Structures are given as C-alpha cells and as structure tokens.
Homo-oligomer: A and B are copies of this chain.
Amino acid sequence: MSLDGLEKKKTIDLRKKHIGPSCKIFFSHDPIKIVKAKGQYMYDEKGQRYLDCINNVAHVGHCHPDVVKAGAEQMGLLNTNTRFLHDNLVLYAQRLQATLPDKLSVCYFVNSGSEANDLALRLAWQYTGNKDIITLENAYHGHVSSLIDISPYKFHQLSDAEQSHFVHVAPSPDVYRGKYSADRPDAATAYADEVKDIIEKVHKKGHKIAAFIAESLQSCGGQVIPPVGYFQQVAEHVRKAGGVFIADEVQVGFGRVGSQFWAFQLQGDDFVPDIVTMGKPIGNGHPMSCVVTTREVAEAFMSSGMEYFNTFGGNPVSCAIGLAVLDVIEKEDLQGNALRVGQYLTNVLEKQKEKHPLIGDIRGRGLFVGVELVKDRVKLTPATAEAQEVIYKLKEQHVLLSADGPHRNVLKFKPPLCFTTEDADLVVEKIDPILKELEEALGLKANNSANTENEKRRKLSTDENGHSGLHYSNEGVQEQTKQRKRMKT
C-alpha cells in the first residue's frame, strides 16, 4: 500500500467491480492514478509530476487557492436552493451578463453542460413552437438522451445507429478536411448554404426548425474553427425559418480563445446567438453550468406555466466559486495569457510543421489548438494510430495530451489557462522526436516531393489509402487543398 491510499492494483480491481464499464479511463492498459494537482500540473501516487495539456475544466489552474477558499467558506456558511433569495446568485448572474452582449440577459443555473444544452433545447422548443434541430457533423453536446440524439459524435458510435427524425446534420464547417476548404473565398457562405438547403428540405417534409445548435468552435469534432461570417449567415437562415441559434460554449468559452471572452465573438460583433450554454470551466471543476438567453425566450418559456426548478443549480456555493473564477481570470489576466501563450504555442507548432510531414494542419485560437496528423498531406489520410502513439509516448514522458476528431487524429491542446511558454516549449520538444521516429517508420520525409509511388507503397503498408505519386510539402493548407482539388479533377 502506498502512502497515499490503496495500492494501484486494488484501485483498478475495485473500479472494475463497481464502476460502469462504459466509463473509460485514459491509457487503459496502464492508467494513471492522480492524487493531487496544482496549476497546470498533476501528480501521481509516487509524486511524479505530469504537465497537463488537456484539462480545460481546471480553467484557472488545478486547485486554485482563491477558488478553493471561496468554495470552502461558502460551504461552511450556507448551501441551499434558489427558492430562497441570495446575493451570490444575482451577483454572479450580473457578472456573467456583463461579459455578454446586452440582449443575452437572463440566466438559468444548472449543474453540467448536458443539463445546460438540454435546457437550451427546451427553451427553443417552447419559444418557437417548433421541434426540429439542426446540428453539425461530428458534434458532441452532452450525455443525456436528448443530446445523444443531436450528437453525431456519439450516435454514430452505436451499432444500431438510429437518427431522430427531427434531427438534421449539417456539414462541419471544417476548412481543412471538410466539404469546402479555406482556399474557397466564400467557404462561410457555402457552409451556411448547406444549412439553408436543410431548412428547405425540412419545410418540404412539413417540419419546422426550432434551433440550430453548434459549439462556437468544435472540440471533440476535431478542434474545428468555422470561417468568419458562417454563424451570421446560419443565424439569418435559421431565424427566417422561425428557429433560434444556440451557441454551445461549454468547452470553448470563458477567455480560452484569448482575443475574446466567448468563442462565438470570433465571428464578429455583428453576431449574437439567441441562447448561450456554458459549462466545464466556469466552476474550475465544481459541478455547475449556465444557460443565458434573451428576455423574449425566457418569457416564452415561462408562459408554458411550468416552473423550472433545479435542486443544486445556482446554489450559493456554486455561485461563490463562479465569482471567484471570474475574479481570478481578471486578476491574473488569464484571457491575455491564453492569447499570448496560445500564439506562442501555435508558432512553435508551425515550425514543427515545417519539419514534420505528419503534421497536416495547425489551427487554434488562444489556448484552444488542434494539430491534425495525416499520413498524406494531399489526400489527408488520417494518421490515427500515429496520433495515439504520440499520446502514449508523451504520457511515458509525463505529458498529458489527447487526440480527438472523427478520425481521432487531431492532437488537442486545451490546458489550464495558466499554461506558460516554457510549458509550450516542453511539450513541443517532446513531440518533435516522437514525430521523427514515426515518420521514419512510415518512410515519410519532410519536403520529399520526389517520393515515388513505389517507395510509398512499400513503406506505408498499413495505409490503405497510400497510393499514386503524392508528394509531401510544407506548404499551407490552401496550397495542399489546391493540389487535392487538382487531383480530383
């Protein structure tokens, strides 16, 4: 038995016995037992430190003392429901409102991103009187049953996948791998027109649109950044059809994108959603979340006559913690840090891209960064196994990173916002040789425009898509996409 508790094997055995087997663990063949954490670091039972590049929930840093203090003090004073008046509730709502456009003024406090997104659907259904929902390809919006229905990321995993007849899936506005690429000047319009087409089809079936829902930047979907102007045009089409626009900021809000507090604001000041949902980071790990909407939507929801009561939502402890998180973001300029360190991280990763043909795309805003690994920069063959290899090798070197996206080939950076340039250097220094080794095994070479078809076939034996005289370049996405197009024609 270790000093800190059960022997690791005992913990694993008890977990197998008593925890639902659908609840997966990181690095299942050799999981990590974490016993403490501070800032951007986690520590295992032997005191080994891990650099945490993935825990976006620990937004202002693991166990931030100001947040812990606020929570602990309020826990000792009062923790009850919102049927009693309390200052924390209204002061927190006021503070949140101040970060948002004026018309987003009414809050509902709930306990998780899933509860928030489900409530957003209920608000949309009640306000519009319509039922149908448009969601994005690869989207993930939560684990309750209503959200599995609108999460292709989840429902595509089911063997007997059966899509709700009122849910419609629009293409992900992914300008790297998606239907329309970044070299197309009207990519935003092209993707928005896909939504318009869906609306027309829905109307032909006699259905009506209640809402379009999207993460402001797709996270699990592969760190996708929609082209500017896309949300404005989608909102126009959806509102014309009587629906509302729900921006899911559960993973990407609260200053992570650096230049703005909310990721939807990256689209420009002329875009305001009708409903915004927030979650993971807002309590730095405390179970809390929020839905903010307009007075009009809120009044319509009330007009049903049905009370909305959430036992834990908006309790004084959650609100005290929420206020402390906002204070820390301000006091430590964590949004500014996300901008600066995020830019630095993107820059050092771009230099890696020059060296490593496995890196197909670097995309990010602030400390929300994706590195898409491909075995072929023209055909964009996903380097799924290689991404897993990177993750595992990093773990052995005590760096926590994850891979996601529909092909699980996008390395996801979403660290606590106290992440530093030194941390960025550390992780990139460790990624460099791992990529080099993988590329050698695959026979990939930087700037290898002379790579012949035969060479590739021989070396890329595991790649079913590896064929025809492709060449690897260090050119940008637009150039690669042009090549891809030329090949197709």
Contacts and interface: CB of A to CB of B under 8 A. Distances in A.
Given A118-B145, A309-B23, A311-B280, A34 B77 contact: no
A76 B63 contact: yes
Interface stretch (A154-162, A225-233, A326-334, A443-451): A154-162
A157 B305 contact: yes
B85 A34 contact: yes
Contacts of A318: 287
A78 interface: yes
Interface in A121-149: 121-122, 125, 143-146, 148
Interface in A241-283: 279-280
Q: On chain A, which size bracket covers the interface?
A: 35 or more
A80 interface: yes
Contact of A79 (B89, B286, B309, B313): B286
Contacts of A85: 8, 11-12, 15, 25, 31-34
A143 B115 CA distance: 9
A428 B145 CA distance: 44
A363 to B, nearest CB: 24
Interface in A27-63: 31-37, 42, 55, 57-58, 62-63
Contacts of A288: 287
Given A90-B6, A154-B306, A301-B22, A146 B146 contact: yes
A396 interface: no
A43 to B, nearest CB: 8
A21 interface: yes
B111 A112 contact: yes
Given A42-B84, A157-B306, 18 more contacts: A15-B89, A18-B90, A22-B304, A22-B308, A23-B108, A34-B80, A35-B77, A42-B78, A57-B311, A57-B312, A62-B80, A63-B79, A67-B75, A79-B285, A122-B145, A158-B305, A158-B306, A286-B312
A15 B80 contact: no
A310 interface: yes
Nearest to A56: B311
A146 B144 contact: yes
Contact of A80 (B20, B57, B298, B307): B57
What is the count of identical protomers in the complex?
2
Interface centre among A72, A82, A121, A287 (most CB of B within 10 A): A287
B58 A80 contact: yes
A298 B315 CA distance: 32
Interface stretch (A91-99, A179-187, A403-411, A475-483): A91-99
A102 to B, nearest CB: 12
A307 B75 contact: no
A322 interface: no
A415 to B, nearest CB: 13
Contacts of A77: 35-37, 63
A207 interface: no
A287 B287 contact: yes
Nearest to A118: B144
A20 B107 contact: yes
Contacts of A309: 23-24, 143
Interface in A291-325: 293, 298-299, 301-302, 304-315, 317-318
A109 to B, nearest CB: 8
Interface centre among A17, A22, A122, A143 (most CB of B within 10 A): A22
Given A80-B37, A85-B32, A144-B146, A285 B20 contact: no
Given A18-B107, A111-B115, A82 B23 contact: yes
A351 B376 CA distance: 84
The 8 closest A-B pairs by CB, nearest first: A72-B72, A14-B90, A18-B93, A287-B312, A79-B285, A22-B308, A33-B85, A287-B287
A68 B18 CA distance: 26
A287 B111 contact: yes
Contact of A17 (B5, B58, B105, B313): B105
Interface string A345-375: 0000000000000000000000000000000
Contacts of A36: 77-78
Contacts of A90: 6, 11, 14-15, 18-19
